[in-house]
Structure 1
Amino acid sequence: HTICYSVKANSNLGILRLIGRAGCGFDVVSGGELERVLRVDRRAAKKVVFSGVGKTSDEMTAALKARILLFNVESESELWVLAECAARAREKARIALRVNPDVPANTHPYISTGLQQHKFGVPIDEARKLYAQASGSGYLQIAGVSVHIGSQITDVDPFAAAMKRVAELVRALRRDGHRIEYVDAGGGLGIAYDQSDNPDFESFVGDYAEAVLGPLRGLKVHLLLEPGRSIVGPAGALLTRVLYKKTNGSKKFLVVDAAMNDFLRPSLYEAYHEIVPLRLGEEDLSERVDVVGPICESGDFFARDRELPVTNEGDVLAILDAGAYGMALASNYNTRPRPAEVLVEGRSARVIRRRETIGDLLRAES
């Protein structure tokens, strides 16, 4: 098997460098993500899979020239554009079709990707026809089957259902004469953002492994996995300072200096993240508050009606489990520079992304 870290979760070069040194490959969904991986180590291309529904010709050509491991093709049109790019580059493209198994992932609808109503993949019932067509191209090499049903999934049953359909397809494709070497099972393994859930993560991972591996037993395929959130999510925290405490009627607010532009998940998904004050002292007293940012939208919040230890202006709060889809989703809304990123290893710490300045934001404009 090969772990192909999902670069979209956190694409900082310092993080990619650590993950590459651990022997992992990478799952990319854009030319920019590919360039990040190659900037860290050009030799990593041999462990790169390229996913995504909207690959451009330029992106495909760059990936062909880098000689990546595998293209996860998501439509018939993309298949033929890739074949044309490969012919022009005089490179053979190794492909897997990303199939859509029409399996509900039981997660937030914005990050569910395995139903026919979603834009992702090829309907699994149409896959054999496309594989047959692809086999006639001299510049496409059929190498595998890919599937990805969603993100932040905490129930293993959808994985098992999807992999059962994939295993059936692999057997059918081999009967058709295709050489299927790889099965890319995608990512999607969820984490516990609410610490009160106190899940047994090791047991959950064991159940996940059985859900994925069970249907594939006896097929002798090389398994590719694309975890992202489960690797970097719990490793990150966003630190923010309380600017003001205010009360509107019976409603209490903590106004902090971070905002939805820095960390979008609570606003976008109404996602729960633990928030803890970083101070020593009595924590017996608590209050119910909304933790909000300075941006001019009511949707700019990190927590609503949250019971927290009584907090003072100037205190620092840590928003936990922010290592995935934090900076990756950050923006400069309200002309706010993005924060610095600091990598902590043991007792040492170093800046792996400097804090932006307003000058940085204006430099590309005229």
Structure 2
Amino acid sequence: MVTASQAAQRRERIMSAAVRQRLLDPDDALLAGFVDLDGVAASVAALQRAFPDPVSVLHAFAAKANPLAPVLEELRRLGMGCEVATAGELAQALAAGFTPEQIVFDSPAKTRPELARALELGVAVNADNFQELARIDDILATRSSASRIGVRINPQVGAGAIELSSTATATSKFGIALEDDGNEERLLAAYRERPWLTWVHAHVGSQGCPLDLIAQGIAKTVAFAEKVNARLGRRQIVGIDIGGGLPVDFGSDTTDPGFDAYVARLREHAPALFTGEYQIVTEFGHSLLSKNGFTAAYVEYTKTAGQRPIAITHAGAHVATRTVFQPDSWPLRITAHQPTGAPKTGPLVPQDIAGPLCFAGDLLARARPLPLLTPGDIVALLDTGAYCFSAPYHFNSLPDPAVHGVRTGPDGDLRFEPIRPAQTIEDVLTERVAEGSRRVTAGPAT
């Protein structure tokens, strides 16, 4: 296991090497994301080790956490599958080389064409509601499918510390609410009437959800599967998609809780999951990528307002959207660095770390104690490998920053490889002008 000190040293090496190679540059590369591919491989290996034989598991990476094609390709090479929630993510997963059998489609708003496409390919589908099941009925009435098909249930076990990230509350928009009046009997009937309905899926939540809450939700899902099989007198449900949701420690370099602790809690609450009778799918995202990535940005200006120092940087809501709009739920650690990439030292001074976007709330941190920043310094936003630079917010038409992968070569040197090139202003203009041109050419709607 990597220690906190080793993780910090690794980042410092990456930062300094990036400056030397001008992947970070005060004129040409003001902002960049970095993915530690060695760390990603270690995280995937830890997940794979945590689920022992004789359990048959497909670990499907939640593409929404980081859908960049080279990242998906790397995860595929490491033995992962892919969980997708939109037609766009499905296309990206296929382009990254995942076979349909390795892909799970979980969108709560699948259209008829999207369902038809997934079922034609043989992608696993988890229906979100009874109306979606009826659509699948219509499609399967005219064609066969190799897809594994299940139903997403909401075990309604409650919320974690972050309400907006908790997906198993009494009123969650996801899945069929298991405890609502009549739903369990309707579900039992749905399975009885559809022999091809052989899976069940639940996802309790992610950040802010304690392990016991997650395990309780999965335990209710396993109990439902057992009830279906017992009631029907046959082993119809053969697989359980248990989702993801392992919370990430955004306050330090530790990786607690780890996948071993997660599996231990599952064994306690849902021992039937480990008998070998069920196939399992997992859908982790944050816990595989977040701590294996960081974002670096230059400080452009510094000033004082209300007696508090403010550092204006090139990282803001466009690369850390959740942090800016929900700072209490999604705080990020920030480190200060010299222009060489080396750590900056000195007395800690409370200061605001601001982004470049043109609204007052574009703040990454308020009154954060750091060595006093000056123009030309670099700040690093830690634990941003998921849901940050890979999901840019296009306010103010800022270009997407470059993202670089890094791994250790045979000689011990760090080697960078492109994951996403930086957008140029010309790229942004072409995109916007092309969109406008399409609208003008199409003319007014009739």
Q: How far apart, CA to CA, are the structure 2 residues paired with 1:304 and 1:86?
A: 55
Query: TM-score of the superposition, structure 1-length normalised?
Result: 0.92
Equivalent residues of 2:337, 2:343 under 8 A apart: no
Tell me the equivalent position of 1:276: 335
Equivalent residues of 1:107, 1:150 under 8 A apart: no
Q: How far apart, CA to CA, are the structure 2 residues paired with 1:21 and 1:200?
A: 23
Q: CA deviation at 1:180?
A: 1.1
Tell me the equivalent position of 1:358: 425
3-state SS in 1 of match to 2:436? coil
Q: How far apart, CA to CA, are the structure 2 residues paired with 1:252 and 1:65?
A: 58
Tell me the equivalent position of 1:260: 317
Moved over 4 A (4+): none
Tell me the equivalent position of 1:145: 200
Equivalent residues of 2:66, 2:391 under 8 A apart: no
Query: Does residue 39 of structure 1 match 2:102?
Result: no
Tell me the equivalent position of 1:348: 415
Equivalent residues of 1:131, 1:142 under 8 A apart: no
Tell me the equivalent position of 1:6: 62
- Per-residue CA shift, 1:186-219, capped at 9, x if unaligned? 1110111111xx6562x64333112223314347
Q: How far apart, CA to CA, are the structure 2 residues paired with 1:92 and 1:40?
A: 21
Q: How far apart, CA to CA, are the structure 2 residues paired with 1:74 and 1:315?
A: 48
Tell me the equivalent position of 2:154: 100
Tell me the equivalent position of 1:118: 172
Unaligned residue ranges in structure 1 (runs of 5+): none
Amino acid at match of 1:326: C
Unaligned residue ranges in structure 2 (runs of 5+): 1-56, 409-413, 438-446
Pairs within 5 Å for 1:56-95? 56-68=111-123, 70-91=124-145, 93-95=147-149
Q: How far apart, CA to CA, are the structure 2 residues paired with 1:58 and 1:89?
A: 14
Query: Does residue 25 of structure 1 match 2:81?
Result: yes
Q: How far apart, CA to CA, are the structure 2 residues paired with 1:282 and 1:349?
A: 24
Pairs within 5 Å for 1:219-234? 220-234=277-291
Give me the CA root mean square deviation.
1.9
Counterparts in 2 of 1:60 and 1:213: CA distance versus 1, 3 Å: farther
Counterparts in 2 of 1:282 and 1:31: CA distance versus 1, 3 Å: closer
Q: CA deviation at 1:183?
A: 0.9
- Per-residue CA shift, 1:28-82, capped at 9, x if unaligned? 101111111111115x2102111121111121122112211x2111110111112
Equivalent residues of 1:185, 1:223 under 8 A apart: yes
Query: TM-score of the superposition, structure 2-length normalised?
Result: 0.76
3-state SS in 1 of match to 2:426? helix
Identify which of structures 1 and 2 has the higher relative contact order when contacts are C-alpha pairs closer than 8 Å and 6+ apart.
Answer: 2
Choose which of 308, 312, 328 in structure 1 pairs with 2:374: 312
Pairs within 5 Å for 1:239-254? 239-254=296-311
Counterparts in 2 of 1:220 and 1:265: CA distance versus 1, 3 Å: same
- The count of residues paired between Structure 1 and Structure 2 equals 359
Equivalent residues of 1:53, 1:74 under 8 A apart: yes
Q: CA deviation at 1:262?
A: 2.2
Q: CA deviation at 1:312?
A: 1.4
